[in-house]
Structure 1
């Protein structure tokens, strides 16, 4: 029965991520009357919501049911999408972002934990990265096709991409009901004690602590990169009709990365791969402002290589450090820190975009990415030195 999860997992991941609104989301928000500062403030609210909900929902998945957690994830995200369709009010949109945050956290940790435990149950946990990468590649291909369609659909009717995404989220919820719960050891601690124990594991285990610090950096630079595409497109005077084509290209790069590069680097030390990814992110912000031109949009695709490799590599690295009974909660703790950094820094980028413009904003994020990568490299060396000397 557990083998069924290996079929259900990529289907669930496909539909829960099949939001085809990516290329037109910023133009849609501008159409709804929002400024860049308001857009980034909404993203900060979403990140704070994830920060608040992340660990409690991870604990629910650990102590009660992974399947129900995944089912509710699609339901709350669908309601949030509906609010964006029906209303034109900043405060309603803020509520929508809170619901998106709740939906995201209900799936965060629970989905990857369920896949890892299913493979472990049948003695194939070494397949985790490959299966995670394959599932991601299907998502990126689907989002790529959806990106092309969304541009044309948006020009015909601004709301069509949102309605299609709404249906996809409800479909994901129904698919989640087909999962089989894996028999596993559950935490003997009460709810609050379980969370505190998981926090202790995350911050006292050197390798997981490093992952937490890495997530703080990547949580900001990876997510803010998406919201900075449209300002750069406007900077180089790219017509909105091309947005979908560009996003299709981006998604194909991400699909290639998750399908082929995950396998290529699966035998490399995960921390070395992760440092390489943060370096690519730094370059993806700095190079486009050195060469400000339409062709330089291709340099932004460096972020898509990161997008394809990051989740499989990071989750594989973390999963190997934790016991089953704390798995989803510790993964959620790492994600919590990621969202906190984005919540704090993204409004700064929004204000810079409104007041300073695109080029200074890209430079700021590029400097954060480069200095953060250097700090993580030095932390890794320090941890190795302590281990050798102890």
Structure 2
């Protein structure tokens, strides 16, 4: 490793590990389907979450820049915990929507903020030259947390025979992460404004000005659009892995003595464990792999087009009932996303001032949520009408076409 593993490195890694102990992640769509929701209704819930996140991005970004990134992270985790509790105690669609809004509060307070904390730490300690490697390793810890989470979640579903308990169980690691965040040094808050009478409006205008300036930087916006569009396509497409895994699990002549939920939990748990082990490895080695390309923009462009082709091929595989191939293709899509993420963060950080990094990275998150809010219901309609396979195939083709518009300018 080219950087020191000091105390903050382990705190950052612990944050990611605990944050990704979301036991509901591998079963969220299956939870909604068991509740009787159509793919369109599920897509609408995701749209509610994403639109709410989008609306809250600017005020929560300002909050982080004014009152400190650490306080913003604490607000995020409190919102998440409330969301988990609602999902556990209620089964009504409107309560699901309310839980999604609280989850959106968490996403809005968190998005870009923790990355800004890491980048601020690297800037203070003159370690900016290793940001891809450093961030990749901390993200690797997050993905390892997801791998462990999938096994624990599978065990919870198998022994309880229900998806409900995975929500209340997710509260425990989030409380532990709140404690971890409270120990972060104050200096990582960056340059924040003093909250005095009459200065709030002025500070909001200054922060919004910095926020708007990002949109005027064409090169920065190309990088942001490339990253956010890939993330949106990935996040919407990956949700269909769960019903594909369920169909695959039910078709297997194994575990016939247990019901479909328990059979599915075993397959889902194993597959997601493998996925997150691979994505953890990909994140930790993102810097090494990016060096195999002539430059970072080339790596970002090539992986974008590979991702689009794989989504389309996954859909075709489902149509021809080759579920194993579809699962493998979507698995590789997870790896691509986690290879790309440290690369994108590095490229974006080169175009945005460290003083407004929390707001700057929120721009990327905001565009992602806008695209997801559009794509999720539309893909749900297609999946309900003509099937998951066609939805993925059409979606991948559209992503391929969009790739020409978001291609990042390569360094000569």
Please, what TM-score do these two structures have when normalized by structure 1? 0.91
Q: Aligned match of 2:173 in 165, 168, 172?
A: 168
Which of residues 87, 101, 108 in structure 1 aligns to 2:104?
101
Equivalent position of 1:217 in the other structure? 229
Q: Determine if the alignment matches structure 1 residue 207 to structure 2 residue 237.
A: no
- In the alignment, is residue 278 of structure 1 matched against residue 283 of structure 2? no
Structure 1 residue 70: Cα displacement: 1.0
SS at match of 1:149: helix
Moved more, 260-269 or 18-27: 260-269
User: How far 1:267 sits from its partner (Å)?
Assistant: 7.8
Contact 2:224/2:348, CA 8 A, preserved across alignment: no
User: Which residue of structure 2 aligns with residue 244 of structure 1?
Assistant: 269
CA distance in 2, matches of 1:283, 1:302: 11
Output the TM-score relative to the length of structure 2.
Answer: 0.86
Find the aligned partners of 2:145 and 2:9 in 1 and give their Cα distance: 19
Q: Determine the C-alpha separation between the residues in 1 that align with 2:186 and 2:158.
A: 43
Shift of 1:4: 4.6
- Report the equivalent of 1:229: 241
What is the rounded CA distance, in whole Å, between the counterparts of 2:169 and 2:337 in structure 1? 23
Distance 2:54 2:207 in 1: 14
Are 1:5 and 1:180, in contact at CA under 8 Å, matched by a contact in 2? Answer: no
The CA distance in 2 between the partners of 1:324 and 1:165, in whole Å, is: 33
Task: Between 175-184 and 229-238, report the one with greater CA deviation.
Answer: 229-238
User: Is 1:131 aligned to residue 131 of structure 2?
Assistant: no
Does the 8 Å contact 2:24/2:166 carry over to 1?
yes
**RMSD after superposition:** 2.2
Residue of structure 1 equivalent to 2:81: 78
**Corresponding position of 2:368:** 338
1:258 maps to 2:270: no
Correspondences of 1:362-373 after superposition (within 5 Å): 362-373=392-403
Give the conservation status (yes or no) of the 8 Å contact 2:150–2:273.
yes
Alpha carbons of structure 1 residues 170 and 52: separation in structure 2 relative to 1, 3 Å: same
Q: Counterpart of 2:257?
A: none
Aligned counterparts, 1:1-390, within 5 A: 4-157=7-160, 158=162, 159-182=164-187, 184-186=190-192, 190-234=202-246, 236=248, 237=251, 240=264, 241-265=266-290, 269-291=295-317, 292-296=321-325, 297-377=327-407, 380=409
Mean Cα displacement is larger for which, 111-120 or 21-30?
Answer: 21-30
Instruction: State the match for 2:259 in structure 1.
Output: none
Hey, what's the Cα distance between the residues in 2 that align with 1:28 and 1:288?
Answer: 23
What runs of 5+ residues in structure 2 fail to find an aligned partner? Answer: 1-5, 194-198, 253-262
Label 1:255 to 1:107 Cα distance change in 2 as closer, same or farther (>3 A): same
Paired with 1:319 and 1:365, the residues of 2 have a C-alpha distance of: 29
Alignment: residue pair count? 380
Gaps of 5+ in 1: none
